[in-house]
Amino acid sequence: MAEILADLRALVARVDNDFARSWWDGTQDALSEVDGLIAAYERSGEVPPGLGSLFLPTSGLQELAIGSGWGNELNALADRYDALGG
């Protein structure tokens, strides 16, 4: 799970991301949410509440991924998350 979260953070932190259709106001807003999920995982060792909703169709993360050209990478990351039972 730690690797999935790190990969998620790397995708969200890309400098050429287009946040126009996501629910975040920009990179810092998105990273704040992702960093909160990482911190929750580090504290508990369990899947943090809310992480699964990021991988749902029509989520802000999906809109960010599609608008930024890394939709396939998000799908692969979501598959890894699902494989872990997330």
Domain boundaries, the chain: 2-83
Burial class (CB in 10 A: 0-12, 13-18, 19+), 73: middle
Q: How far apart (Å, rounded) are the C-alpha atoms in residues 8 and 18?
A: 16
Q: State the pLDDT at residue 57.
A: 87
Q: State the pLDDT at residue 58.
A: 84
3-state secondary structure of 43: helix
* DSSP tag of 82: H
3-state secondary structure of 47: coil
Amino acid at 51: L
Kindly tell me if the per-residue pLDDT of 78 is higher than 90.
yes
Question: Given the structure tokens 């799908």, which residue do they identify?
Answer: 75
Q: Report pTM.
A: 0.92
Q: Which residue has the higher pLDDT, 85 or 22?
A: 22
pLDDT digits (tens, 9 = 90+) for 16-70: 999 999 999 999 999 999 999 999 999 999 999 999 999 988 899 999 999 999 9
